[in-house]
Structure 1
Amino acid sequence: MRFGPLPLADAAGAVLAHSLKLRDVTFRKGRVLSGEDVATLAAAGLDTVVAALPEPGDVAEDEAAARLARAVAGPGLTVSAAFTGRVNLFAAVAGLAVVDREQVDRLNLLHESLTLATLPAHTPVEAGQMVATVKVIPFAAPETAIAAAEGLAAPAPLLHVAPWQGLRAGLVQTLLPGLKPTVLEKTQAATRDRLAGVGAILAAERRVPHEAAAVAAALTDLHDAGCTLLLVAGASAITDRRDVVPAGIGAAGGEVLHFGMPVDPGNLLLLGRMGGVPVLGLPGCARSPRLNGFDWVLHRLAAGLEVTGPDIMRLGVGGLLSEIPTRPLPRAQATTPPRAPRIAALVLAAGLSRRMGRNKLLADVGGVPLVTRAVDAALASQVRSVTVVVGHQQDAVREALAGRAVRTVEAAEHAAGLSASLKAGLRALPEDADGVLVLLGDMPRVGPAAIDRLIAAYAPAEGRAVCVPTCRGRRGNPVLWDRRFVAEMLDLTGDTGAKALLDRHADLVCEVEMPDDGVLVDVDTPEALAALTGGAITGGAIMGGE
């Protein structure tokens, strides 16, 4: 990759290395300079520009990041679109993040341009939580490095999310004189809460004397009742493989696989098996809801992963969980884990279509109504919900969307202009939406990839609170707005939409370049519709190809 000051004559197709603010326009870092951009820069008196120019053997940052993400991601993950060389990977299900640490290290050692950052191996995650991020550092990466990374991940994905298996646990608590009933109740409650956190349930409990024969009988009873995980909380801590709890496991026909673990608290955990069902002899700290070694083993079992003695013996690094005065709170306790943004799509489909002379949204384009194409693109993207604003001929529009997972809301004052439709939709936004993507129902060439690219760019904490698609320097639609702007959008009037807000909040606007002009093409007239399809209008339908 060629990097540095480039003569404007060589700058078309180069990536701008630093933002440029001219009198009437701002070109942001990362912009791929078009011929029109070069002419604008020349007219402003510039002779050179600092930019990166890909050379043979280079792969542009977004393509490189997308390829790397696809290669490393396994089951249980969703992959965002690429933006500025970054692709985020999110959990598609609740479960355990499984990471091949050695292979991740090998990948990061391939070339300085390629980076993969993940959560710690075996971290519990919720659906939508960020698990990893791929970042290509410069504006391009060598094809040889990317191919090597793909080859590294070819035998098996480097990371995946193992979903919770829905275990049914049985708990045995042993009794000794002087053991308070409140201790037993506390243990039961803490165990039930722990299991709920990993998609499991406490199906049954038995309380028996602290004797091997009683433990054996209780375990047999729970095993025969269909429990898929057996837990034993002794009234006295396990101190040896021949102690009461392990002896009871043996008497029930089970076996002790491992005793002890290099995790504190949690040292006195025992791992066994009985008829194919895992058995855990719990350390005393398991009576407390605070994190301990039992949690680490439970997480793996709840996700359907096998746990062996050597697995437990490898937990020493990071195994000091005891809180000490100088130790800060763990990251998971101190911050909210990153997650996929909850974006609600708002499709405006209430207008009168005055310039078209009939309801353009119902026009047949290749056998599909225009509005249906826009809605299907939203449904195929990474938005969390789709709301369609209807008004003019609303029954027919609803019929065109029959069977689709969308919500429709009526804009009673749709004849007053675009802002009335927008406000009707904004009032119906889901309460948990982080942002809203405003789509126009007459833009059939906006596909799910363009929508996902806008979502990938959205990062309010980094100053990207409004994401606007562009093509060759021209702004288009749809626009993604952070929820903070809803109040201002509700004050809009007339038929201009929210365009004025873009100027008012220019410092928070992120332009997202698109590979084609679909974000610029709307259908307002019969001629535009015919041009879109390459056919002619006959009897309200479009004849010809798409």
Structure 2
Amino acid sequence: MKIIKTVDAEGAVLCHDITQIIKGVTKDTVFRKGHVVTKEDIPVLLSVGKDHIYIWENDENMLHENEAAEVLCSLCLNDNMKRSEPKEGKINLFADCHGLLKINREALKAVNSFGQMMIASIHGNFSVNKGDKLAGTRIIPLVIEKDKMENVKEQALSITSGKPIFEIKEFKGKKVGIVTTGNEVFYGRIKDTFTPVIIDKIAEFGGELFENIVLEDNDKKVTNAILELIEKGADMVVCTGGMSVDPDDKTPLAIKNTGANIISYGAPVLPGAMFLLAYYSKKDEDRTIPILGLPGCVMYAKRTIFDLVLPRVMADDVITAEDMAELGEGGLCLECDVCVFPKCSFGR
């Protein structure tokens, strides 16, 4: 690659795309990489501010920006994704299904720390729809050393154990059992407005109500109801209410007495601090069933801890205690008058 004056470019081969930007009118490529410049092209090149241009000279030790973008793309592209063709040295990735986006953050950081190259993405651990843009890749210069691209590829793959940096886990059509607790609901003192919220939210991710059991504040009965739903074939159990420290609130004890592994009772998220997450192992069927204890805020707040955890649970993405602890940064919902979640800081 070398620089020549545009007025002397007739017959030269462009080594990068030339873009024309007119504010409010257009931003598009007027000449593509590999275009042979004609005499008629020179005034056009000058009109877009190109008094000098790069022309291609073969160098077996260097990669053009489009070729380097292909290397970066290969580190990212996975099943359930589509990609664009290279344009101006960039390749974009798009979701090809409705699912949960997972990102190997260590590998992504390693690539972006290497210098002269970048991968920009949306946040992981959130749901994506078919057609959503996930990421874009490119190098910064027009050409880059082949050895450098091989080194970054080797380093990234060593971190991911040979897997792509990005993954989309499709949502499972889970059958969800709901245990509605509370004397006030059981005895008909108030209408149950909690369960319909849960049904609507699980439906967003392909889930459906398996069975709803309504009980008074009796921990033994709640324990038995959870185990009954699991025995009948529920893929997930949600307990609504009874999660605070009041003497009548016994749902955490009921979940514990099932023998499930309690991952976290309490979360660094507002609204939703009194949330409980557990996993019950049904060894005879080789199944692991998530059990969620939901505080009352899920019933009335626009967005809560449930909205951060639910997509992961619905995609069979196992949540650890460390994952829960990391929710503290970004775990404060600002409760905006107009909710734009997930296009906000909540859960980021």
Query: Normalising by structure 1, what TM-score?
Result: 0.53
SS at match of 2:343: helix
Of 226, 229, 233, the residue aligned with 1:219 is 226
Tell me the equivalent position of 2:54: 52
Amino acid at match of 2:53: A
Amino acid at match of 2:124: A
Answer whether contact 1:62 1:85 (CA < 8 A) is retained. yes
Please tell me whether Structure 1 or Structure 2 has the larger radius of gyration of its CA atoms. 1
Tell me the equivalent position of 1:64: 68
Structure 2 stretches of 5 or more lacking a match?
21-28, 282-287
CA distance in 2, matches of 1:141, 1:103: 20
| Root mean square deviation of aligned Cα | 3.3
Indicate yes or no: 2:264 matched with 1:258. yes
Amino acid at match of 1:117: A
Answer whether contact 1:16 1:51 (CA < 8 A) is retained. no
CA distance in 2, matches of 1:318, 1:19: 38
Aligned pair in 2 of structure 1 residues 330, 12: CA closer, same or farther (>3 Å)? same
Indicate yes or no: 2:320 matched with 1:308. yes
Answer whether contact 1:8 1:49 (CA < 8 A) is retained. no
Answer whether contact 1:173 1:184 (CA < 8 A) is retained. no
1:208 Cα deviation after fit? 0.5
Answer whether contact 1:17 1:51 (CA < 8 A) is retained. no
Answer whether contact 1:11 1:38 (CA < 8 A) is retained. yes
Tell me the equivalent position of 2:311: 299
CA distance in 2, matches of 1:182, 1:295: 28
Aligned pair in 2 of structure 1 residues 228, 9: CA closer, same or farther (>3 Å)? closer
Aligned pair in 2 of structure 1 residues 181, 130: CA closer, same or farther (>3 Å)? farther
Indicate yes or no: 2:307 matched with 1:332. no
CA distance in 2, matches of 1:308, 1:259: 12
Aligned pair in 2 of structure 1 residues 147, 196: CA closer, same or farther (>3 Å)? same
- What aligned pairs does 1:396-407 form with structure 2 within 5 A after superposition? none
Tell me the equivalent position of 2:290: 278
Aligned pair in 2 of structure 1 residues 184, 260: CA closer, same or farther (>3 Å)? farther
Indicate yes or no: 2:185 matched with 1:172. no
Aligned pair in 2 of structure 1 residues 254, 109: CA closer, same or farther (>3 Å)? closer
Tell me the equivalent position of 2:5: 5
Answer whether contact 1:54 1:60 (CA < 8 A) is retained. no
Aligned pair in 2 of structure 1 residues 13, 266: CA closer, same or farther (>3 Å)? same
CA distance in 1, matches of 2:131, 2:189: 38
1:319 Cα deviation after fit? 1.2
Indicate yes or no: 2:150 matched with 1:147. yes
Aligned pair in 2 of structure 1 residues 267, 2: CA closer, same or farther (>3 Å)? farther
1:153 Cα deviation after fit? 3.5
Aligned pair in 2 of structure 1 residues 17, 144: CA closer, same or farther (>3 Å)? same
Tell me the equivalent position of 1:91: 95
Tell me the equivalent position of 1:123: 126
1:215 Cα deviation after fit? 0.6
Give per-residue Cα distances to partners, 1:164-205, cap 9 Å, x unaligned. Answer: 122111110112247896965421211111101112112111
1:238 Cα deviation after fit? 2.8
Indicate yes or no: 2:104 matched with 1:100. yes
Tell me the equivalent position of 2:85: 81
Answer whether contact 2:6 2:42 (CA < 8 A) is retained. no
Aligned pair in 2 of structure 1 residues 32, 297: CA closer, same or farther (>3 Å)? same
Aligned pair in 2 of structure 1 residues 262, 3: CA closer, same or farther (>3 Å)? farther
CA distance in 1, matches of 2:185, 2:171: 38
SS at match of 1:210: coil
- Residues paired across the two proteins, number: 320
CA distance in 2, matches of 1:221, 1:205: 11
CA distance in 1, matches of 2:342, 2:201: 20
- Between the two proteins, what is the percent identity of the paired residues? 24
Query: Normalising by structure 2, what TM-score?
Result: 0.80
Structure 1 stretches of 5 or more lacking a match?
21-26, 334-546
CA distance in 2, matches of 1:142, 1:175: 66
Amino acid at match of 2:78: G
Of 237, 248, 257, the residue aligned with 1:230 is 237
Q: Deviation above 6 Å: which 4+ runs of structure 1?
A: none
CA distance in 1, matches of 2:325, 2:196: 29
SS at match of 2:52: strand
Aligned pair in 2 of structure 1 residues 52, 248: CA closer, same or farther (>3 Å)? same
- What aligned pairs does 1:403-482 form with structure 2 within 5 A after superposition? none
1:83 Cα deviation after fit? 1.6
1:38 Cα deviation after fit? 4.3
SS at match of 2:151: helix
1:211 Cα deviation after fit? 1.3
Amino acid at match of 2:256: G
SS at match of 1:28: strand
Tell me the equivalent position of 2:335: 323
Of 108, 113, 119, the residue aligned with 1:109 is 113
Tell me the equivalent position of 1:32: 34
Give per-residue Cα distances to partners, 1:506-533, cap 9 Å, x unaligned. Answer: xxxxxxxxxxxxxxxxxxxxxxxxxxxx
Amino acid at match of 2:305: G
1:18 Cα deviation after fit? 5.4
Aligned pair in 2 of structure 1 residues 316, 290: CA closer, same or farther (>3 Å)? same
